[in-house]
Amino acid sequence: MDALLTALADPARWRLVRLLAERPRPVGVLSQLAEARQPQTTKHLQTLERAGIVTSQRTGQRRIYALRPAPLRELAAALNQLADTADQVDGPRATYDRYGLSLRAERLAAEESGWADGRSFRFHRSLTGRPELVWQQLTEASLLARWWTPDDLRVSELVFEARPGGRIVQEYRDAEDTDGSDLVAGRAEGVVEDVRPGERLTYRLSPVLPDGGIAFTAHVDLGLTPTDTGTDLDAHWQITDSTVDSADFIAGIEIGFGQSLDRLVATLAANPHDTDSADTRSEK
């Protein structure tokens, strides 16, 4: 496939392929139609032949070249598969596009400090597992590390002290950045405010800007309600202290935290009675 792509990448060779798609032609005629010198045309055709795109045969004093459709069909199928993968409904590309729309809107709105103060976001999820199990997922760092990041990210540092005044640190990197060589994807610091085991958890969390300042403060209120099938989780975010530089972060709240909660749903569904700690690099 690499040889095929390399051969087709040259505009002169692509012109020859288009001419041969119409019908087989001799070198001399191809050079005339392509408006190129015959030695150059011969070299291009030899490259295409080595790549398996064309075939040739000698007839008298002339060499006739013809196009081989099969490699082009294989390339077309591979390209279609790539396009289908990127274009899958509700896939990563759809999320990227949705974030891009939100990002542009928030950047336009972020004209001065305080621009997003008072904004709120609400989330609801029905979870498998009783409130005490869900509570562990919300407060134990080793369990939080399993789900408390958006898709395609991984926790690289996590501190969650589940007591009033307790410290929160959340840092994450790209999931494929296994050696930590890429930039940190995000970091937030905060403080736990209210702790009612199995019922309610509130805390403040502030994303950290590259210069060390805070982008905004999110006041997060998590309420747990027992149901016949498990637990209903209601989450309320309210924004204060928003800076102009907070637009990129606020644009991602709905998508990012929503993805995190979906991971929590999946984690509990897969292990409805599992309270074992995961192997992570987190600390309490």
List the one residue out of 92, 83, 45 whose CA is nearest residue 64.
Answer: 45
What is the chain's alpha carbon radius of gyration, rounded to the nearest angstrom?
29
Tens of pLDDT, residue by residue, the chain (284 residues) = 889 999 999 999 999 999 999 999 999 999 999 999 999 999 999 999 999 999 999 988 889 999 999 999 999 999 999 999 888 877 888 888 999 999 999 999 999 999 999 999 999 999 999 999 999 999 999 999 999 999 889 999 999 999 999 999 999 999 989 888 888 999 999 999 999 999 999 999 999 999 999 999 999 999 999 999 999 999 999 999 999 999 999 999 999 999 999 999 999 999 766 654 444 334 44
What's the 3-state SS for 43-54? HHHHHHHHCCCE
The SS3 call for residue 1 is coil
Residue with tokens 């795109």: 53
CATH class held by domain 92-270:
alpha beta
Query: Residue 129 — left, alpha, or beta (φ > 0 → left; ψ -120 to 50 → alpha)?
Result: left
List the one residue out of 4, 5, 2, 1 whose CA is nearest residue 53.
Answer: 4
The SS3 call for residue 240 is strand
> What pLDDT is recorded for position 278?
40
C-alpha separations of 146 from 92, 177, 179 in Å: 20, 17, 19
> What pLDDT is recorded for position 284?
40
> What pLDDT is recorded for position 56?
96
Strand blocks (E) in 107-255: 120-128, 153-160, 167-174, 186-196, 200-207, 217-226, 230-240
Residue with tokens 């029905």: 126
Q: Judge whether 269 and 128 are in contact, CB under 8 Å.
A: yes
Start and end residues for every CATH 1.10.10.10 domain found in the chain: 2-85
Task: Say what the alpha-carbon torsion angle 150, 155, 159, 165 is, to the nearest 10 degrees.
Answer: -20
Q: Judge whether 243 and 213 are in contact, CB under 8 Å.
A: yes
Determine which helix (DSSP H) or strand (DSSP E) holds 63, and give its type and residue range.
strand 62-67
CATH number of this structure's domain 2-85: 1.10.10.10
Single pTM value for the model: 0.76
| Beta carbons within 10 angstroms of residue 217's beta carbon | 20
Query: Residue 181 — left, alpha, or beta (φ > 0 → left; ψ -120 to 50 → alpha)?
Result: alpha
> What pLDDT is recorded for position 272?
67
Q: Burial level of 61, CB count in 10 A (0-12/13-18/19+)?
A: exposed
User: How far is 13 from 249, CA to CA, in rounded Å?
Assistant: 47
Task: Say what the alpha-carbon torsion angle 170, 175, 176, 180 is, to the nearest 10 degrees.
Answer: 10
Start and end residues for every CATH 3.30.530.20 domain found in the chain: 92-270
List the one residue out of 166, 223, 158, 221 whose CA is nearest residue 191.
Answer: 166
- What phi, psi does 238 have (nearest 5°)? -130, 135
> What pLDDT is recorded for position 221?
98
Quick one: DSSP state of residue 67?
Answer: E
